[in-house]
Amino acid sequence: MEPQLGPQLGNQYLSEVKRVLKSKGRFVCLTLAESHVIGLLFSKFRFGWEVSIHIIPQMPSENPNLRTFAFVAEKQTSPLPNQITPLFNPLCLDCDTAQGRGVCEALEIENKIRCGYGNDSDITYALEDLKLGVKGNMMDLCPGRRIQLTLDDRYRAVLLDAQKQSDQFMFHCAVFLVPKMRTHEWLFSSVEGQWKVVESSKAARLILVQLDSSHFNANMDEIQKDLSPLVMQLAPKSDQKGAKIPYMTASDGIKHRQVLQQITSSLTGPIVIEDVTYEDDVNVDAASPFPSNELMFRLLTFQRTMNLVQSEALLTKQLLFTESSASERRRLSPSSKSKKKGSSKPKDESINNLKVHHGYLASAYHIGIISGFMLISSRLEILLSAEKRVEAVVVGLGAGLLPMFLHGCMPFLHIKAVELDPIIFDVAKKYFGFVEDSQLEVHIADGIQFIKEVAATINLVSSTRDIIDGHTLPKAGSPSVGNVTYYKEGTGTCKIDVLIIDVDSSDSSSGLTCPAADFVEPCFLTAAKRSLSDHGLLIVNLVTRSAAIRENIISRMKEVFIHIFSLQLEEDVNEVIFALSMEDSISEDQFPDAVVKLKKLLKIERPEMSHKIIESAKKIKCLQ
């Protein structure tokens, strides 16, 4: 695989290998077992293949820390997944090396995944696996059949064969595209709702494709062109020769779009800032402080991550609550009858009347991050009552929405936001109303190096400082980290109480969208733990479609942290992972009391927003 080209060539090559091999045919691959290579091999040869792994003997003079492996896959007649057999003595593999540890972890995780398939759990299949017959013959209609699948790793989909077959169907097969802004709705997210869509589609087989943030700026014609060769492979046989597959869609919810600025950064790449107006009730929930027909959002997009929407902020008018401004809003409000959906609105002076509403969070994962403060709410109460500073570090500024919201709802926090790209900092200030003060400051620095230096500084002075409850009492002669002085005389706590990792990955071939892979390496996780106070909390925004990668990350975190918690978001692929540095952790039976304490700590004007955070906190689960 060519890293700069992503996994596409590797996927194509392995697909061709699977196609040309006959039953009992073998594919042998010599590899150094890098994580992205072994992960691709395991997933591509999961169904209908007997897989084994061998260690190639090496000369004594060669590097003992870098071994060559032989991956052998033999084609079977049964489509069921089999456990992978390591045909080598585990003692021959040094699991203390990065390579050895990676292979052992990948084997363990993959075999767990295959075991889950054998238990017929609710799983997602790949298109190639369905073509092999793991869920029956796809050419035949099977009333009531429902299969979750991925199409070429870029699209999530659900295949549904109508529960009652008849001769009255208008289409033998149809595709229904669900925009990201609508995927959370009951009609498209629940099983019952999806069957309602099947009924209204008049199709014998419906392929429900759920678009996500990566398709936000994509043209529907381009998506259809991309999907057509994939869905054709899932179409059932039809008596109608040349029957076409129609594409249906729900409205994407965007009524108007105005691009404010397009910038190219040498670090982040192309960046787009735009204002969008949604159609009524789309992307609007009970926590919104304003009527749905008045809403406008400002988006920050990093195009390097497949047009991922990095930040979304609610906009309000400066004079929103005056009678004169209400009439002005009605005058300036765009009419859906006079504008086409998604059309660009010309710039006018009204843009200067808009400001970001920092008391509202549009991103569900931001709400999830704050809900995790429930895990240390008792500790926060103690620090607050003792009038001690609570140190929070957010790695990854983006539009600055999360730090600004935290600054408003938890004014006792002393927040440091660490951002690598100074252009992003400028964008946050110019377009998203980000403001620094004595309690909120930004440091332009490498987030990994920043945390490692904090950990190193703490280790350096720990022998000469008195530690009370994990917080250092500073003395004279304090060292500094970059332009941040730690252990300064009289400044109070210096260890980090809450560390939030909210950064995206620039490597699209890794299978990991958030965070960048370096932030979940053992060396960084160890530094993160050392930088935390004794009751500190690490929060990681995790985005990946790969179950193997996700399990690998959780496994690494468990090696460093004893207590790991998770919040799986329903609307998208985000998962928020929480790790506690203390040995004695909060238990799930203590969650109700902790939630009550968190609610008391939050200073939020709108009760609806507070309610969303509290409800999110109730969904946090302990990972055993």
pLDDT digits (tens, 9 = 90+) for 322-344: 434 444 433 333 333 333 334 44
Q: Is the pLDDT reported for residue 465 higher than 70?
A: no
Task: Quote the pLDDT of residue 27.
Answer: 96
pLDDT digits (tens, 9 = 90+) for 71-120: 999 988 776 778 998 887 766 666 667 788 888 888 888 888 787 665 55
Task: Quote the pLDDT of residue 571.
Answer: 61
Task: Quote the pLDDT of residue 264.
Answer: 94
Which of 113-127, 376-390, 494-508 has the least mean pLDDT? 113-127
183 contact partners, CB below 8 Å, separation of at least 6: 189, 210, 211, 212, 571, 572
pLDDT band at 352; cut points 50, 70, 90: low
Geometric angle at alpha carbon 249, from 248 and 251, rounded to 5°: 150
Q: In the chain, how many H helices and how many E strands?
A: 17, 29
Give the β-pairing of 440-444 and 413-419: parallel
pLDDT digits (tens, 9 = 90+) for 262-293: 999 999 989 999 998 876 555 555 455 555 55
Q: Is the pLDDT reported for residue 185 higher than 90?
A: no
Nearest-angstrom CA–CA distance, 440 and 404: 8
Residues of the chain with CATH 3.40.50.150: 364-623
Give the β-pairing of 69-75 and 26-31: antiparallel
Give me the chain's average pLDDT, please.
Answer: 82
Task: Quote the pLDDT of residue 309.
Answer: 78
Task: Quote the pLDDT of residue 315.
Answer: 92
Specify the 3-state DSSP secondary structure of 426.
Answer: helix
Q: If you search the block for the tokens 């960048």, which residue do you land on?
A: 516
Q: Is the pLDDT reported for residue 319 higher than 50?
A: no
538: which strand partners? 499, 579
Task: Quote the pLDDT of residue 508.
Answer: 63
Long-range interactions of 465-469: CB distance < 8 A, separation 24+: 469/533, 469/534, 469/535
Task: Quote the pLDDT of residue 385.
Answer: 93
Average pLDDT over residues 161-173: 86
CATH class entry, domain 364-623: alpha beta
Task: Quote the pLDDT of residue 219.
Answer: 75
Phi, psi of 133 (to 5 degrees): 95, 20
Task: Quote the pLDDT of residue 247.
Answer: 93
Q: Is the pLDDT reported for residue 481 higher than 50?
A: no
Report the C-alpha dihedral over residues 386, 389, 390, 393, rounded to 10 degrees.
-170
Dihedral sign, Cα of residue 133, residue 135, residue 137, residue 139: negative
pLDDT band at 2; cut points 50, 70, 90: low
Average pLDDT over residues 528-554: 91
Average pLDDT over residues 517-544: 95
